[in-house]
Amino acid sequence: MDYRDEVFMAVAEKLSFSKAAEDLFISQPAVTKHIKELENKLNTALFDRKGNKIYLTQAGKVAYQHLRKIREQYGEMEFELGRLNDAHRGLLQIGASSTISQYVIPAVLAAFHQRYPQIKLDLFNGNSFDMERKLLNNEIDLALVENDSSQANIRYFDFMDDEIVAVAAANQLIARQKSLTIADFQEIPIVLREKGSGTLEVIQHALSMQQVDLERLNIFIHLGSTEAIKNFLLNFDGLALVSEKSIEKELALKQLVRVKVKDFEIRRKFRLAVRQGPEKSIPELFRSFLFSYNI
């Protein structure tokens, strides 16, 4: 790709000349110069400028769609050439749900980078549904999700078992409970993940199997991350439902304790998601690596 094309892609994705300049490590006037040259070459305006904001023109949107395909094809070419020399090259953009991005995947990415140092890695995180949307919009190459619903046009591969467990702060009264019934569980104040999270979806499904409506729980607050929940619990005499993968350190330090709920468990699978259709070389390479990695 021509460097002016790369500058245009950066501006189109950030919708900001200054942010594109920061990402490319060049000056903002240099970005403006490259965009002007490209507009002159294509004989069309690529951006509309309204006050302090910029927007892609219709021509800009067409140019971006074509250049994104060219960038993907160029990455595929680099990978194939690298494979001939056992030197894989390219870019892999991964989206991961909050729990997976914080507690599961960092070690895998570090090992993958050590094995394939010429493959640049970008990690995006958010809730599972956000990551699936990014995948379907071609903003990422693959997603690692924790929800149990499935979307059309996405293929899913289980790669890890997980359990969602009830926990309490060790210094709170509720931690002294040896075992709770489902009826007890519905009365105790509880902290849950935000609506839209894969964890909350799995919890809701598990409760429905017990004929328990999520909205009938004594929900004190919804929080946007497991870290926020764990910090909140330290001064809260109640329960939280979180992934067992997220509390290993706190259990070892005796800050949190598991609280058993009789005849109730929530097990799930962490899944790798890719778009339907032919799989690109680098995402396929990562999938193979992930399934061979001893998490």
Beta strands in the chain (DSSP E): 47-50, 53-56, 90-97, 119-126, 142-145, 154-169, 179-180, 190-193, 219-223, 239-243, 256-258, 260-261, 266-275
Averaged pLDDT, 129-158: 92
Q: Is the pLDDT of residue 86 over 70?
A: no
Q: Do 221 and 232 form a contact (C-beta atoms < 8 A)?
A: yes
Give per-residue pLDDT as tens, 151-183.
989 999 999 999 999 999 999 999 988 789 988
Residue type, position 213, single letter: D
Averaged pLDDT, 137-147: 94
pTM of the model: 0.70
Question: Whose structure tokens read 């991350």?
Answer: 225
Alpha helices in 85-192 (DSSP H): 98-103, 105-115, 128-136, 182-187
Confidence of residue 87 (pLDDT cuts 50, 70, 90): low
Q: What are the chain's domains?
A: 1-76 (1.10.10.10), 163-266 (3.40.190.10)
Q: Is the pLDDT of residue 148 over 90?
A: no
Q: Is the pLDDT of residue 128 over 70?
A: yes
Q: Is the pLDDT of residue 188 over 90?
A: yes
Higher pLDDT, 210 or 124: 124
Stretch (H or E) spanning 200 = helix 198-209
Q: Do 224 and 267 form a contact (C-beta atoms < 8 A)?
A: no
Q: Is the pLDDT of residue 6 over 70?
A: yes
Q: Do 227 and 102 form a contact (C-beta atoms < 8 A)?
A: yes
Give per-residue pLDDT as tens, 223-233.
989 999 999 99
**pLDDT value at position 85?**
63
Q: Is the pLDDT of residue 261 over 80?
A: yes
Higher pLDDT, 77 or 287: 287
**pLDDT value at position 81?**
74
Question: Whose structure tokens read 């006050």?
Answer: 51
Of the candidates 78, 101, 105, the residue with the CA atom closest to the CA atom of residue 90: 78
Q: Is the pLDDT of residue 79 over 80?
A: no
Instruction: Tell me the CA distances in angstroms from 286 to 13, 223, 270, one per residue in order.
Output: 25, 32, 16
**pLDDT value at position 44?**
95
Q: Is the pLDDT of residue 51 over 90?
A: no
**pLDDT value at position 27?**
92
Secondary structure (H, E, C), 33-63: HHHHHHHHHHCCCCEEEECCEEEECHHHHHH
Give me 5's structure tokens.
């094309």
Q: Do 135 and 143 form a contact (C-beta atoms < 8 A)?
A: yes
Give me 94's structure tokens.
């991964």
